[in-house]
Chain A
Amino acid sequence: MMPQLVKKGAEASLFLADWHGRKVIIKKRLPKKYRHARLDEQIKTYRTVHEPQLMHMAKKAGVPTPTIFFVDVKNSIIVMEFIEGKQLKQVLNNVSSLERQRLCKRIGELVGRLHKQGIIHGDLTTSNMILDPRGSIVFVDFGLGEASKELEAKGVDLHLMRRALQSTHFAFAEECFNSIAKGYASVVGEDAAKDVLDKIGDIGKRGRYVTRREEDNGD
Chain B
Amino acid sequence: MVKKQRVRKKKAEESYCLGIESTADDFSVGVSTFKGEILANIRSSYVPAEGGIHPREAARHHSEQASTVLREALGKAALKPADLSIIAFSQGPGLGPCLRTGATVARALASYLDIPLVGVNHCIAHIEIGKLKTEAIDPITLYVSGGNTIVAAFDAGRYRVFGETLDIALGNCLDVFAREACLRQKQGMPLGALVEKLAAKGTRLLELPYAVKGMDVSMSGLLTTAVTLLKKGKCRLEDLCYSLQETAFSMVTEISERGLAHTEKKEVLLTGGVAANRRLQAMIEEIAREHDARFCVVPSEFAVDNGAMIAWTGVLAYTHDIVTPINQSHVKLRWRLDEVEVPWIG
The reply to whether B335 and A10 form a contact with Cβ atoms under 8 Å apart is no
A residues in contact with B258, CB < 8 Å: 9-11
The reply to whether B214 and A209 form a contact with Cβ atoms under 8 Å apart is no
Write the nearest CB–CB distance from B337 to chain A, whole angstroms. 8
B residues in contact with A170, CB < 8 Å: 155-156, 160
Q: Which of A122, A160, A166, A209 is within 8 Å of B335, CB to CB?
A: A209
The answer for the CA separation of A211 and B148 in the assembled complex, in Å, is: 15
The reply to whether A210 and B160 form a contact with Cβ atoms under 8 Å apart is no
A residues in contact with B127, CB < 8 Å: none
The answer for the CA separation of A32 and B255 in the assembled complex, in Å, is: 13
Contact-size category for B: 35 or more
Write the nearest CB–CB distance from B191 to chain A, whole angstroms. 18
Q: Is B213 an interface residue (CB 8 A)?
A: yes
Q: Which of A124, A203, A209, A218 is within 8 Å of B166, CB to CB?
A: A203
Q: Which of A38, A127, A209, A217 is within 8 Å of B262, CB to CB?
A: A127
The answer for the CA separation of A166 and B339 in the assembled complex, in Å, is: 12
The reply to whether B330 and A164 form a contact with Cβ atoms under 8 Å apart is no
> Most chain-B CB neighbours within 10 Å: which of A122, A167, A210, A211?
A167
Within 8 A of B (CB), among A18-66: 32-36, 38-39, 42-43
> A34-B250, A167-B161, A211-B334 are contacts. A125–B205 as well, Cβ < 8 Å?
no
> Most chain-A CB neighbours within 10 Å: which of B212, B213, B247, B254?
B213
Interface of A is mostly: loop
The reply to whether B213 and A34 form a contact with Cβ atoms under 8 Å apart is no
The reply to whether A208 and B254 form a contact with Cβ atoms under 8 Å apart is no
The reply to whether A160 and B160 form a contact with Cβ atoms under 8 Å apart is no
Q: Would you give the 0/1 interface string for A201-219, flagging 1 where the beta carbon is closer than 8 Å to chain B?
A: 0010011111101001111
The answer for the CA separation of A156 and B247 in the assembled complex, in Å, is: 21
The answer for the CA separation of A203 and B216 in the assembled complex, in Å, is: 12
A residues in contact with B331, CB < 8 Å: 216, 218-219
Write the nearest CB–CB distance from A78 to chain B, whole angstroms. 18
The reply to whether A208 and B169 form a contact with Cβ atoms under 8 Å apart is yes
Q: Is B333 an interface residue (CB 8 A)?
A: yes
The reply to whether B96 and A209 form a contact with Cβ atoms under 8 Å apart is no
The answer for the CA separation of A127 and B168 in the assembled complex, in Å, is: 27
Write the nearest CB–CB distance from A161 to chain B, whole angstroms. 8
**Interface residues of B, Cβ cutoff 8 Å to A:** 92-93, 96, 99-100, 103-104, 147-149, 155-156, 160-162, 164-169, 205, 207, 210, 212-216, 246-247, 250, 253-254, 257-258, 260-262, 282-284, 286-287, 290-291, 330-336, 338-339
A–B complex contacts, Cβ < 8 Å, 10 sampled: A10-B287, A36-B250, A39-B210, A42-B207, A144-B214, A156-B213, A163-B216, A164-B214, A209-B93, A217-B96
